[in-house]
Amino acid sequence: MDRFLIHGPATLRGRVRASGAKNAALPALAACLLAGEPVALTRVPRVRDIGTMRKLLDHLGVASEERGDALVFHPGTPAEENGEAPYELVKTMRASVLSLGPLTARWGRARVSLPGGCAIGVRPIDQHLAGLEALGADIHVAGGYVEARAPRSGSGAGAARRLRGGRFRFAMPTVTGTENLLMAAVLADGTTVLENCAREPEVGDLARLLSAMGARIEGAGTETITVHGVPELGGARHEVIPDRIEGGTYLVGAALTGGDVTLEDAEPADLAPLLEKLAEVGATVEVSGRSIRVAGTGELRSADVATAPHPGFPTDLQAQYLALMTRATGVATVSETVFENRFQHVPELARLGAVIEVAGPVARVHGPTELAGAHVMATDLRASACLVLAGLAAHGETTIHRIYHLDRGYERMEGKLHDLGATVERVRGPMPD
């Protein structure tokens, strides 16, 4: 398993370009299952989760190739025996569940392995399933698989299976749940109204891609999305939005290390909750067009944060913010309201010298503490990013084990950190099973 060796302390300085958003690219790839013609996607981050999704699409009959700066997807017909998302692929990436909506909409049936729990919580998909049922799908869960069948749209055994428009209210805003239902509704017969939808920018990006393919969608980015089903979709060319979480990670790094980083080609509006916090804790924040500059001013103050669905403070930046608060003066209360078990980075941060108490969904960070290099273990993607940031701020050498988590979602991280003046080495080792 690869690991990172970080020689700290570092001061991040310079310019860095945000990669395309992993969490926008994954549903964009899934949307290619709906296309009748080729889809060219640009600014797709070259990270491991995208490789996994390409493998899944390939398995489902959608081949892809690199062409210039684009990934081009060629729609096909899934072979009968291949119309399923198998356990081997789903177990490595929960986002494989995004194939459920499009497969059911396009081919009338889907068989997708249940994603199961993961390090950050139980993460059920009950809302995805209830939403598909509201569009007329028959859902069976057996042997670790979800089987969905759309109703027959005519009479006789040869009649096509097609979802039908309906009304569904999500019990909570779910990002991939909203995306799955959006992809299911675009090819349904009639109009679908989805309520209490996730408003994350990644949902809006998916809606833009689907619209470019010919879908009729209103209200994406708001709580209520209306979809007028169309019989088929064509192809499209689409640029994925910048990754606000990746970009935000480098900006937190600038504040944490007392550096000065300009994030280029970003979408500042999508980062507003983080930028407000960075200014509140004492960093200089300047926005100019699509560039964001964050500079540390020497003194950091603690400030409380509670994660929430967009436009609240993103849970995917909670771990990085916790690292920042270890260097701030005072006590910061960080509440995690989206996932039930997302403080696994806390014991690892403690190994670097952080003083953090956790009680249920609340962490209290006592700062400032001097961090000192140590061996730490990455447990999930964003926890790993938090440990990298803490390692940059720590004195001495920090070794981060199991960085395959980072490789799932951060493109060229050590290269980008190197460009910002940090010394981060990747030490190669065999992959885990």
Residues that bind ligand EPU (CB under 6 A): 23, 26, 95, 121, 123-128, 172, 174-177, 198, 315-316, 338-339, 381-382, 409
| Beta carbon nearer to ligand EPU, 40 or 130 | 130
| Beta carbon nearer to ligand EPU, 339 or 343 | 339
Cβ–Cβ under 8 Å, residues 18 and 268 = no
Q: What angle do CA 362, 365, 369 make, to 5 degrees?
A: 165
Q: Is the peptide bond before 115 cis (omega within 30 degrees of 0)?
A: no
Amino acid at 326: T
Smallest gap from residue 315 Cβ to ligand EPU (A): 5
Q: If you ran DSSP here, which 8-state letter would residue 14 be given?
A: E
Write out the H or E segment, with its range, that includes residue 5. strand 3-8
State how far the Cα of 356 lies from the Cα of 369, in Å rounded to an integer.
10
Q: If you ran DSSP here, which 8-state letter would residue 403 be given?
A: T
Smallest gap from residue 198 Cβ to ligand EPU (A): 6
| Beta carbon nearer to ligand EPU, 72 or 308 | 308
Smallest gap from residue 128 Cβ to ligand EPU (A): 5
Smallest gap from residue 84 Cβ to ligand EPU (A): 20
| Residue 32 annotated in active site | no
| Beta carbon nearer to ligand EPU, 76 or 124 | 124
Smallest gap from residue 432 Cβ to ligand EPU (A): 18
| Beta carbon nearer to ligand EPU, 17 or 123 | 123
Closest of 237, 190, 196 to residue 219, by C-alpha: 196
Q: What angle do CA 251, 253, 257 make, to 5 degrees?
A: 130
Measured over the CA atoms of residue 195, residue 198, residue 200 and residue 206, the dihedral's sign is negative
| Beta carbon nearer to ligand EPU, 192 or 307 | 307
State how far the Cα of 109 lies from the Cα of 138, in Å rounded to an integer.
9
For residue 169, report the phi and psi dihedrals to the nearest 5 degrees: -115, 120
Catalytic member of 32, 118, 197, 386: 118
Cβ–Cβ under 8 Å, residues 185 and 226 = no
Pairing state between β 216-218 and 225-228: antiparallel
Pairing state between β 3-8 and 396-401: antiparallel
| Beta carbon nearer to ligand EPU, 38 or 115 | 115
Smallest gap from residue 94 Cβ to ligand EPU (A): 6
DSSP H helices in 257-378: 272-280, 318-325, 345-351
Smallest gap from residue 409 Cβ to ligand EPU (A): 6
Q: What are the DSSP calls for 120-170, one per residue?
A: TB----HHHHHHHHHTT-EEEEETTEEEEEPPBSSSSTTPPB--B--EEE-
List, by residue number, the catalytic residues.
118
